[in-house]
């Protein structure tokens, strides 16, 4: 599970934001309070000073505008008396200055030497000249002092000014003390606020943290965990909705996994090959059947262009394949082995028409092509085999119709040829009917248990008695009884056909050899001749329909070319196999096997 950084935690962020809001609020309140407190205290102090100065101003104005007789005290003496009667802890000094900027009196005894001198204070000059009050705060020995100059007016005429310095430092000390008290209160409040904020933040962040852990568990495929519901508020409703979403996702995932397993099972068990590409034409999925068909490994196919994989890059682009409506034949044949695939293309796209990729279905069309070729060859052979006797019959019948039937020497010969060709066609049609019934499984084997050596001997003796050639029969048969369950009529046809072929191709003075051996639960039957043999490349083709090793000789002997094809079908129907071994110029051997009941081993006779 991924850990969240300390300062990235929503818990910490919530507390920090909460604290910042409280600090900002307290700062605003503190600044406003300090400013208003300072303004109020300074205003109160100034008002207090002004009230005292107003009392002094009246007395000073009277002394300044008073007409004096020689017996009266001087103005300095009068003003000193006025100022000496005024005592205040807040006011440091009061000076009386006339309109000529000359200091007339001061309340500080140590500054009496200034009386009679001109005042050098700019505030005094500015106040008298502008007839306005001058108010400022200066530093004196590191302490703040309020300096206030008030013009003394008499009938709208400035007769002098009062210069007052007051100790305002204690006001600022009071402000500092109050600010310290306020700061302490803020610190205590902030501490309490942080503690409360932590608990409040946990109330909000605990469900969120729980949902985060649940989301991480869901990402790993664990849907069994549930979010705890702490209440019925918005967070509780969110937790309930989250648990419902978990259940829905679990059901959806189960459905998706089930569908994926079904799809994987279908793809793996399909005989056809399936290839899927992305929107750029690169292979993203391929089943095992397609790999076998293409004879490639998965790592060589994935993420490669589909046109390259199918060998179509010279003729088609991916865009061409997307537009492809018909299937394409893929010819991977070699000189020795035909191998043809057929590819069908289907586009996958969204509802908006955006192409997501391409689905390619591969079908091995080799057998179908071989069947089509064999069918065409079969039709051609049947047509040829029928056309030859029909042409012969037509020629002789035309001759007879034109008057040859009147010739007693020629007519019987023509009729014999026509009769021979008719019988040949009948044999051909009968053989075709037999093969047709075998292909469609429209026959039944009327089996019975027979001792094969006796059965085989009887057929050999029949041929040995009736043969016209100077061919010697040699038998290599077992003395042990071998019981097989066979249809005697059909097996007789098989052996008759094989022996007939051996006699046809055996030269005068040659041998035809017969043998029966055992191999496991099968008997192995052999018929061998000393004939012309078959080229090695064509040995396996002698069981094909209408195949003849020597077409001219076989047709002259009345063969249809279907005997060994029928024999193969009958042997297979009995649960055996048939094959040939031959060497050109030295003869051919036909083998076939049949299942039998195991008896005690015997010896060759």
DSSP state for residue 380 in the 8-state scheme: H
Token pair listed for 486? 């066979």
3-state secondary structure of 508: coil
Mean pLDDT computed over 415-420? 78
Q: Let me know if 162 is exposed, middle or buried by CB neighbors in 10 A (0-12, 13-18, 19+).
A: buried
Residues 322, 358 within the same domain: yes
Tokens 């002259």, residue located: 556
Rounded CA separation 147/526 (Å):
146
Residue 288 and residue 313 in one domain: yes
Q: Once rounded to an integer, what is the mean pLDDT over residues 437-456? A: 77
Domain end point (choices 364, 391, 418): 364
Same domain, yes or no, for 513 and 415? no
**Which two structure tokens, joined as six digits, stand for 418?**
């026509």
CA–CA distance, 401 with 430 (Å, rounded to integer): 29
* Structure-block tokens of residue 29: 């309140």
Count of residues for the chain?
605
**Domain annotation covers residue 453:** yes
Check whether residue 319 and residue 286 sit in a common domain.
yes
Q: Strands (DSSP E) along 74-215, which ranges?
A: 91-98, 103-106, 134-140, 143-154, 157-167
Q: Tell me, yes or no, whether 561 and 454 share the same domain.
A: yes
The domain that holds 423 is classified in CATH as: 1.10.287.130
CATH of the domain at 91: 3.30.450.20
Closest among 118, 143, 123, 141 to 133, alpha carbons compared = 123
Model confidence at 434, in pLDDT bands (50, 70, 90)? low
Confidence of residue 8 (pLDDT cuts 50, 70, 90): low
Provide the whole-model pTM.
0.40
Assigned token pair, 30: 């503190």
- What pLDDT score does 561 carry? 63
337, 249 contact by CB (below 8 A): no
Instruction: Give me the number of domains the chain comprises.
Output: 4
As given in the structure block, the two tokens for residue 566 are 């029928």
**What average pLDDT does the chain have?**
79
Q: Is 152 in contact with 141 (CB distance < 8 Å)?
A: no
Q: Which residues contact 97 (CB under 8 A, 6 or more apart)?
A: 103, 104, 119, 124, 128, 160, 161, 162, 163
User: Domain range for residue 327?
Assistant: 271-364
User: pLDDT class for 600, splitting at 50, 70, 90?
Assistant: low
Residue 233 lies in a domain: no
Residue 364's DSSP bridge partners are: 341
Tell me how far apart the terminal alpha carbons of the chain are, to the nearest angstrom. Answer: 86
Same domain, 471 and 534: yes
Q: What is the DSSP string of 457-505?
A: HHHHHHHHHH--S--EEEEE-BSS--EEEE-HHHHHHHHHHHHHHHHHH
Counts of helices then strands in the chain (DSSP H, E): 15, 17
Same domain, 432 and 482: no
**Residue 553: per-residue pLDDT:** 45
What's 287-314 look like in SS3? CHHHHHHHCCCHHHHCCCEHHHHCCCCC
Residue 410 lies in a domain: yes
Instruction: Please determine, for residue 602, whether its predicted confidence score (pLDDT) is greater than 80.
Output: no
264 located within any domain: no
User: Between 342 and 403, where is the model more confident?
Assistant: 342
- Claim to verify: residue 490 and residue 569 sit in the same structural domain: yes
Place of tokens 């018909």: 326
CA distance 246 to 65: 99
- Do 480 and 404 have their domain in common? no
- The domain boundary residue, chosen from 439, 458, 481: 439
Q: How far apart are CA 280 and CA 307, in angstroms?
A: 11
Q: 146 near 49, Cβ under 8 Å?
A: yes
For range 323-349, the mean pLDDT: 83
Identify the domain boundary among 151, 175, 199. 175
Q: Please, which residues bridge with residue 486 across strands?
A: 448
Residue 61 shares a structural domain with residue 170 = yes
Neighbours of 393 (CB within 10 A): 19
In a domain, 225, yes or no: no
Reported confidence tier of residue 591, pLDDT bands at 50, 70, 90: very high
Cα distances from 276 to residues 302, 303, 541, in angstroms, run: 10, 11, 41
Round to whole Å and give the CA distance between 448 and 316.
Answer: 62
- What are the DSSP E strand ranges found in 467-558? 472-476, 483-486, 511-519, 522-529
Integer-rounded Cα Rg, in Å, for the chain is 64
Q: Is the CB of residue 526 less than 8 Å from the CB of residue 513?
A: yes
Reply yes or no on whether the pLDDT at 88 is more than 50: yes
Does any domain span residue 371?
no
Range 458-483 average pLDDT: 82
Asked if residue 418 and residue 561 are part of one domain, the reply reads no
Question: Residue 592: which pLDDT band, with cuts at 50, 70 and 90?
Answer: very high
pLDDT of res. 2 = 44
Tell me whether residue 573 is in a domain: yes
Q: Is residue 197 part of a domain?
A: no
What does the pLDDT read at residue 514? 92
587 torsion bin: left (phi>0), alpha (psi -120 to 50), beta (else):
left
Q: Check if the beta carbon of residue 168 is closer than 8 Å to that of residue 146.
A: yes
CA 362 to chain centre: 23
Whichever domain contains 507, its CATH number is 3.30.565.10
Are 398 and 476 in the same domain? no
The residue ranking higher by pLDDT, 602 or 446, is 446
Let me know: does 526 contact 514? Beta carbons within 8 Å. yes
- Would you place residue 604 in the very low, low, confident or very high pLDDT band (cuts 50, 70, 90)? very low
Q: Is the predicted pLDDT of residue 552 greater than 50, yes or no?
A: no
């Amino acid at each position: 599970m991924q850990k969240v950084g300390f300062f990235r935690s929503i818990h910490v962020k919530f507390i920090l934001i909460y604290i910042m809001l409280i600090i900002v609020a307290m700062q605003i309140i503190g600044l406003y309070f300090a400013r208003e407190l300072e303004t109020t205290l300074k205003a109160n102090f100034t008002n207090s000073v002004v009230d005292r100065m107003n009392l002094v101003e009246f007395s000073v104005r009277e002394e300044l505008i008073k007409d004096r007789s020689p017996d009266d005290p001087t103005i300095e003496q009068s003003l000193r008396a006025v100022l000496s009667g005024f005592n205040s802890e807040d006011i440091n000094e009061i000076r009386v200055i006339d309109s000529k900027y000359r200091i007339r009196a001061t309340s500080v005894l140590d500054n009496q030497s200034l009386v009679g001198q001109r005042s050098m204070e700019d505030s005094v000059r500015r106040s008298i000249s502008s007839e306005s009050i001058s108010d400022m705060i200066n530093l004196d020995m590191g302490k703040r002092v309020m300096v206030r100059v008030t013009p003394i007016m008499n009938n709208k005429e400035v007769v002098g000014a009062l210069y007052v310095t007051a100790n305002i430092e204690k006001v600022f000390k009071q402000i500092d003390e109050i600010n310290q008290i306020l700061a302490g209160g803020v610190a205590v409040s902030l501490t309490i606020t942080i503690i409360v904020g932590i608990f409040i933040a946990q109330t909000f962040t605990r469900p969120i943290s729980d949902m985060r852990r649940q989301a991480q568990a869901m990402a790993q495929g664990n849907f069994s965990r549930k979010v705890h519901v702490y209440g019925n508020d918005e967070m509780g409703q969110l937790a309930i909705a989250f648990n419902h979403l978990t259940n829905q996702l679990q059901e959806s995932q189960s459905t998706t996994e089930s569908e994926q397993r079904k799809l994987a099972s279908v793809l793996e068990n399909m005989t056809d090959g399936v290839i899927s590409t992305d929107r750029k034409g690169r292979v993203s999925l391929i089943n095992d059947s397609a790999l076998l068909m293409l004879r490639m490994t998965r790592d060589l196919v994935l993420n490669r262009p589909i046109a390259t994989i199918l060998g179509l890059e010279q003729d088609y682009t991916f865009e061409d394949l997307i537009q492809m409506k018909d299937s394409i034949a893929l010819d991977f044949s070699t000189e020795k082995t035909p191998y043809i695939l057929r590819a069908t293309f289907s586009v996958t796209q969204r509802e908006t028409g955006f192409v997501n990729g391409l689905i390619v279905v591969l079908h091995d069309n080799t057998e179908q092509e071989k069947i089509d070729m064999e069918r065409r060859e079969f039709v051609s052979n049947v047509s040829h085999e029928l056309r030859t006797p029909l042409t012969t019959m037509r020629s002789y019948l035309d001759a007879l119709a034109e008057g040859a039937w009147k010739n007693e020497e020629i007519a019987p010969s023509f009729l014999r040829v026509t009769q021979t060709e008719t019988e040949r066609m009948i044999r051909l049609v009968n053989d075709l009917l037999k093969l047709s019934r075998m292909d469609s499984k429209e026959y039944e084997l009327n089996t019975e248990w027979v001792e094969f050596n006796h059965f085989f001997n009887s057929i050999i003796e029949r041929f040995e008695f009736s043969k016209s050639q100077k061919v010697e029969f040699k038998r290599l048969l077992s003395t042990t009884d071998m019981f097989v369950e066979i249809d005697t009529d059909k097996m007789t046809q098989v052996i008759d056909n094989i022996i007939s072929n051996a006699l046809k191709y055996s030269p005068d003075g040659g041998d035809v050899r017969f043998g029966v051996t055992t191999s496991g639960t099968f008997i192995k039957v052999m018929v061998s001749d000393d004939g012309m043999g078959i080229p090695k490349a064509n040995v396996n083709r002698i069981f094909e329909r209408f195949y003849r090793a020597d077409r001219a000789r076989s047709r002259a002997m009345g063969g249809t070319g279907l005997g060994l094809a029928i024999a193969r079908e009958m042997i297979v129907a009995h649960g055996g196999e048939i094959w040939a071994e031959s060497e050109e110029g030295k003869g051919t051997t036909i083998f076939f096997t049949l299942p039998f009941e195991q008896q005690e081993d015997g010896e060759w006779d």
